[in-house]
Structure 1
Amino acid sequence: LPLPKVLNNFTIHGLWPKILLDKDPHCKPKEQFNITKIQDLLKDLERLWPSLKDYSKPESFWKHEFSKHGMCVHEDPKIKNQHGYFEFGLNLMKRFNILEFLKKHGIIPHVSQQYETRKLQDIFESEFRHNVSLYCTDKKGQKGVQRLEEIWMCLDPDHQPINCPPISKCSTNFTFPPFPHLPCNTLK
């Protein structure tokens, strides 16, 4: 598949269970990745959970995500298996439509408009009663100007928002360029 001409929204990078900020849970694999088990999700996965490093081979990315981060799903009665893992990620993306949420609060993609990091954090805290972690990168060729790349949301075992660790990697202000734009410093 060619990289879509228009990436017009945020995409999912992953769904990662964590025990602590830097500690993944260790579960014995009960299920290996099998693309046939998620056939009914492929269209949404290609649109909402694409591989941004190699869009022509999304299966490799999904296999990596499930093999590394999805091995404990059998311990979650609401997710249960590989299909549930990907379906849950897609449903979260739809439930928390981040782009629409930002627009509703006046944070609209713009080529040069700068937004305050604290304001964005306050908006999330007031709406969801919990904070998020933000990740920005330096805008190519413009030292000191950062652009918003990722928003991390954290959930409790019942899949409700909780506070994320305070690890935001954004300076005081950031830009939020219009879509499409190449994520993560042109696809590292």
Structure 2
Amino acid sequence: MVCVLLFVLITLSFGQPGTPDKPKHAKEKDEQHFPEMKSLEQTLPTVQQPQTQQPGIHRLNPETAPFVPRQQNLPSQHEIVQQHPQQRYTYYYHPKQPTQQQYYYYPRPFQQPLYPTQHFPHFVHPQQLAQQQYEQLGARPRVVQYTPQQQAVEHPQVPQVHPPQHVVEHPKIQQIRSGQRETTPIPFRPNIVIFEKFEMCENYQKQYSIVNNFAIVRFWPGEVCRTKVCAIPKKTPRVREEFLLHGFWPQIQANKELTCCEFKFPIERTEHLIFKDPKTTNLILRNWVSVEKCGLSISQFDQHGTCAMSNYNNKKGIFEYTRTAILLYKKYDVWKILKESELKVEPNKLYNIEDIKRVVENACGAEPIFTCINSYSVHEMKLCYDMRTNRINPHPVKCLDKNYREEKNSCGNQIMFAPFPEYLLNPETAPRNNCEY
């Protein structure tokens, strides 16, 4: 009975054996209503190959890709195909390889190469050489110095009787006392600066008239020595903080200076006559100082003094011209006048040029003319004189119009004085040049 019931249930569930298969359209209808009834091949996912590898697919005639079953025998390196139709190359997955031990390189510290000392010349220091010479002479005898207290404590020694021996006489040791030693200062050797000589005139012109207006020209050493090293001649005793004499110039109304006139003596003969006179030579060494080149006084006579010989037309004209220039220069210490005035002029300070000119005019009797560098630093100063009154001691007068034009073109409203070179003031340490005058 039980077997009959089981047979009935199996028949109802799976159909009777020997029943024919359903038609194709019925199977498709059942698969649409019951997706679980699809075959295993239909349910498995399909792997679509790239468009370039799919057979029968063209850009103009696309077709569905057929089913490609997955290959079972895969290589050791698994191939991974990405869904990119434009991709031409396949990617491969590489399994991780065992890491190897890494070695780090530590650079050695930089070592400076050592050079043998034989490549350099052997030099003995002067102090070491003196020590070697001292050791070769032998040890000096010991100097013993007794104080008054030590001499008072010492007791006389008892004479002892010794057998006669050969007596060796030693040199007596002179006691050194602090009161007898005196230190003598070492004289300072000034530096010798090599200067060239001023150039003389190449050509000379004739002079037909007498010049009535002369100018004493002073230069300020602060500006002249600002860009160069100045030095004083070997025979010049000293230099003071003041304007230095440049020259004694004849002035004419023409724009150019009257220079290099014909003279009866050549310049070499004139130089010999001037420095043959001791009085004139002493005046030049003390007052007509060459600080940048040699032979300033003779150069000024060659350029300007020859044109003044029409005013000094006698046998002593050369000496009169030179002494008059130095006399007019020494008559006024312009820098001292400016420092002691109400302005209290100091270096490196700007002052109104009219105030400076007023102070000098009140002290000297005539208005000065300044020339400047860079429109503010004073370079030279002129004081004019009338030679018609007295050629040895002329009277100060107003300068010519061309001199005022020169001042206006070179100086501004505010002027200053560069610091005086202090190294020239000390006669013992001041640098000296190779000039005779």
Same fold at TM > 0.5: yes
Please tell me whether Structure 1 or Structure 2 has the larger radius of gyration of its CA atoms. Answer: 2
TM-score normalized with structure 2 length: 0.35
2:12 matched residue in structure 1? none
1:50 aligns with 2:289: yes
Cα distance in 1, alignment partners of residues 347 and 362 from structure 2? 27
Query: In angstroms, what is the RMSD of aligned CA positions?
Result: 3.0
1:29 aligns with 2:263: yes
Shift of 1:72: 3.8
1:66 matched residue in structure 2? 301
Query: Which aligned pairs between 1:1-188 and structure 2 lie closer than 5 A?
Result: 2=193, 3-4=231-232, 8-20=241-253, 21-24=255-258, 28-32=262-266, 33-38=270-275, 39-54=278-293, 57-58=294-295, 61-77=296-312, 80-108=316-344, 110-138=346-374, 146-157=376-387, 158=389, 159-164=394-399, 165-166=403-404, 167-168=406-407, 169-180=410-421
Structure 1 residues 81 and 31: alpha-carbon distance in aligned structure 2, compared to 1, 3 A threshold? farther
Q: More helix by proportion, 1 or 2?
A: 1
Cα distance in 1, alignment partners of residues 312 and 351 from structure 2? 40
Q: Secondary structure at the match of 1:50?
A: coil
8 Å contact kept, 1:19–1:25: no
2:150 matched residue in structure 1? none
Structure 1 residues 37 and 6: alpha-carbon distance in aligned structure 2, compared to 1, 3 A threshold? closer
8 Å contact kept, 1:135–1:148: yes
8 Å contact kept, 1:41–1:87: yes
Shift of 1:6: 5.4
TM-score normalized with structure 1 length: 0.74
2:178 matched residue in structure 1? none
Q: Secondary structure at the match of 1:16?
A: strand
Deviations 1:12-58 (A, max 9, x none): 1111112225352785413342244244233432342223331xx22
Cα distance in 2, alignment partners of residues 134 and 181 from structure 1? 23
The answer to which of 35-44 and 83-92 deviates more is 35-44
Shift of 1:150: 1.1
Cα distance in 2, alignment partners of residues 104 and 78 from structure 1? 40
